[in-house]
Amino acid sequence: MKICKEALPYALFWGILISVSSVFSFYILSVLFLFPFLFTLFFFRDPKRNYKGDENVILSPADGKIIKIKEENGFFFISIFMSIFNVHINRSPIKGRIKESRHFQGTFIAAYKDKSSEENERVEWVVQNENEEVEFVQIAGLVARRIHPLKKEGEFVEMGEKIGLIAFGSRVDIKLQSKNRKLLVNLGDNVKGCLTPLAKKV
């Protein structure tokens, strides 16, 4: 399986510790350092995914568990919590052009708390096409403290195309119009980025 290039500095750090420990015959330490090295490779895995289904849907931008669903003022608000065991690559929910990409400095409280949406470090994306626009937010968490954007404002993206990555546990919020839309997921559902439709046109 492919590994994201963003894994390199983390893997290199643990790899150096393993090498130095081995050179000085600290084999127990070498074995201990091997575990975070392997976990780094696991965390930054990049499974190949392509969406070939109905284009009249909004895809999940992330792997994880749905921890919040709210309908308010003509919009659905959906929050997806990503544990350290989920794939952390985030993807575009629709086909279109990146209208906005904004980075906000912030705190690093636990991502499952509601206030993390407004207080934590985050990157807000707006993707727009001729029919609609969808906003989603990458939110850093207590452990996740680094957001890696993979696209820029003005670029065109396909449905499910990689748009960013968050390192080590986090949250993604998505906002979409509720008019003529039917939700396809429920609170507590596990979803996969690029593969799970969140809503469809009706």
Q: What is the pLDDT of residue 199?
A: 96
Confidence class for position 53, pLDDT limits 50, 70, 90: confident
**89-91 and 75-82 beta bridge pairing:** unpaired
Average pLDDT over the chain, rounded to an integer: 90
The model's pTM: 0.88
**181-183 and 122-128 beta bridge pairing:** unpaired
User: Taking 70 as the threshold, does the pLDDT of residue 144 lie above it?
Assistant: no
Tokens of 17: 């510790």
CATH of 57-201, one of 3.20.19.10, 2.70.70.10, 2.40.110.10, 2.30.30.280: 2.70.70.10
Confidence class for position 152, pLDDT limits 50, 70, 90: very high
Question: Active-site residue numbers?
Answer: 170
Tokens of 111: 């991502």
Q: Where are the domains of the chain?
A: 5-43, 57-201
Tokens of 8: 């390199």
